[in-house]
A and B are shown apart, each in its own frame.
Chain A
């Protein structure tokens, strides 16, 4: 038997369904019914997504956005250990607490490297198409089981703690997912082509330095709009990088590609559209300002973008 991503979908679906049920039964949650509905709909996507007609899934996504947008997704009052009990537990367990925490990345890396080619009979052990995620699933399971063994807690307590964290992040959990849908719709309707058209038809690219600057800034700007450097790269490389920088000014294509992609990443650091890197961590770290991570990254992203322009300009004909 192969461990596939579908097993992970079922596990995550069951986790989200538990979050829904726990919220429904929790009278300390001021919006327990709408909150339960939100997580229940999301659980449905994971448990039965491929068996429901796509139009209904689209409607489900809109319903979730309305629930989130009008304040329907709230948290209950989590039951945590008292400060003294938690510190006593930290002192009792000592550095052993780090073992499950480190097991998580360790098992993930082992799965993605050592167990990559392990087969049981004719079938691979881990789904090769989603190797990293399936390995992460194994790592998460190993970490959970070892944490239960270490703390003598039940796996159900693990689910309760997962609910506490998911409740704290609230709708930010689904934001990267919804933005990815928007990104796909943008490419389907030709938003990329329209942006590239605007960039290339209104700016003169006859000067080498201006062409380099337009290429790097365009990558960053496009990524800020789309939230994803992978969406920006084909458009800007196809519109400016290959025809102008390589074609006219004879730039080294490997350098053009490398610095172009890194310029796109500078954009990723500055956009709320890249929610999984910028907005989710703000929710995860319980920051009141959802843009705090972006604010912390701008002083790195802007100088680095300028550095990229000069690196590309001076190294392009080496």
Chain B
């Protein structure tokens, strides 16, 4: 084994894996892993605290994307934004949870590919609009949903936002990941046009759309299988407030 590589810090990774498997509080797991990693790398305690503190200050920008929109979104929810979104989708007869999410997947992925990544997101799109609309589409078809399926639709709504964002943004040439890849290849003496990196992402972007859309159709099939007999004849319209 190459003695110049210190394998001890991998203990920190082991702490993370064990912590998540034991379902301990993830914040506590992460901080415990910091302690173990620092100790394994033989960092003195105060140096470790300083390193953690510097990193905590440096990454303060990360939660902004979550915390900035909550006041406006919370206020709109209080006055019925979700009810309104549900009423709007319940009137579209052909809407199903899966079809609605496929449309959102397409919109999210193509706008992200144009660099418009802030048009979606969990706090400002998925919670107030996408997830309630997907639930309402299923309710309009089948009547009240059992909690298990309601949670499954919500989880698929969040998943759809992630898939659309990840596999769309990387074919936008000015995106940070392309810049990073270009810089690293350049440092190794390989000159490539960033546009080519973006273009070669397209086959995967299309595969991602097809695979996830297929999974969304499976969601519709699951709803049909588990609820189909019960609700097809009694569409719920009183949810609508229009």
Q: Which of B9, B30, B43, B46 contacts A191 (CB 8 A)?
A: B9
List residues of chain B with CB within 8 A of the CB of A237. 181, 184-185
Q: Does B190 contact A (CB under 8 A)?
A: yes
Within 8 A of A (CB), among B117-131: 117-129, 131
With contact pairs A108-B118, A254-B193 given, residues A233 and B184 touching in the complex (Cβ less than 8 Å): yes
From A176, A285, A292, residue with most partner B Cβ within 10 Å: A285
Q: How far apart sit A90 and B83, CA to CA, in the bound complex (Å)?
A: 6
Q: Is B236 at the interface (CB under 8 A from chain A)?
A: no
**A127-154 vs B: 1/0 string, CB under 8 Å?**
0001011011101100110011011010
Looking at the assembled complex, report how far the CB atom of A292 sits from the nearest CB atom of chain B, in whole angstroms: 4
Identify the stretch in B90-98, B202-210, B223-231 within 8 Å (CB) of chain A at 4 or more residues: B202-210
Within the complex, which residue of A135, A147, A268 is in contact with B118, where a contact is CB–CB below 8 Å? Answer: A135
Residues from chain B with a CB closer than 8 A to the CB of A177 are 56, 59-60, 62-63
A132–B148 alpha-carbon span in the complex (Å) = 37
In the assembled complex, the Cα of A190 lies from the Cα of B162 at a distance in Å of 29
The 10 A-B pairs at the shortest CB distance, nearest first, are namely A90-B80, A161-B74, A69-B28, A57-B53, A58-B49, A54-B53, A143-B72, A58-B53, A65-B31, A58-B52
Does A91 interact with chain B (Cβ within 8 Å)? yes
- Inter-subunit contact B77/A161 (CB<8 Å): yes
Instruction: State whether B5 touches A158 (Cβ < 8 A).
Output: no
Given A130-B61, A180-B59, CB of A287 within 8 Å of CB of B155? yes
> A230, B180: Cβ atoms under 8 Å?
yes
A184 and B57 CA atoms in complex are apart in Å by 12
Q: Please, how many angstroms separate the alpha-carbon atoms of A209 and B63 in the complex?
A: 40
A contact residues around B41 at 8 Å (CB): 188-190
Q: How large is the interface on B (under 10, 10 to 19, 20 to 34, 35 or more residues)?
A: 35 or more
Q: Is the CB of A54 within 8 A of B57?
A: yes
Contact status of A186 and B63, CB under 8 A, knowing A143-B69, A181-B52, A262-B204: no
Q: Determine whether the beta carbon of B7 is less than 8 Å from that of A194.
A: yes
- Contact yes or no, A97 B27, CB < 8 A: no
Q: Which residues of A contact B9 (CB under 8 A)?
A: 186, 189-191, 194
Asked whether, in the complex, the Cβ of B119 is within 8 Å of the Cβ of A109, the reply is: yes
Q: Is A204 an interface residue (CB 8 A)?
A: no
Q: How far is the CB of A95 from chain B (nearest CB, A)?
A: 7
Chain B residues whose CB sits within 8 angstroms of the CB of A225 once the complex forms: 13, 16
Give min CB distance, B83 to chain A, whole Å.
Answer: 4
CA distance A239 to B51 in the complex (A): 27
Quick check: is A248 within 8 A (CB to CB) of the other chain?
no
Residue pair A178, B68 in contact (C-beta under 8 Å): no
B18 within 8 A of partner (CB): no
B28 contact set on A, CB distance < 8 A: 65-66, 68-69
> Does A69 contact B25, Cβ atoms closer than 8 Å?
yes
**Min distance, Cβ B82 to any Cβ of chain A, angstroms:** 8
Cβ of B233 within 8 Å of any chain A Cβ, yes or no, is no
Residues from chain A with Cβ under 8 Å of B79 in the complex: 81, 86, 89-90, 93, 97, 147, 150-151, 153
Interface check A9, CB cutoff 8 A: yes
CB distance from A57 to the nearest CB of B (A): 3
Which residues 272-290 in A have Cβ within 8 Å of B in the complex?
272-273, 275-282, 284-285, 287-290
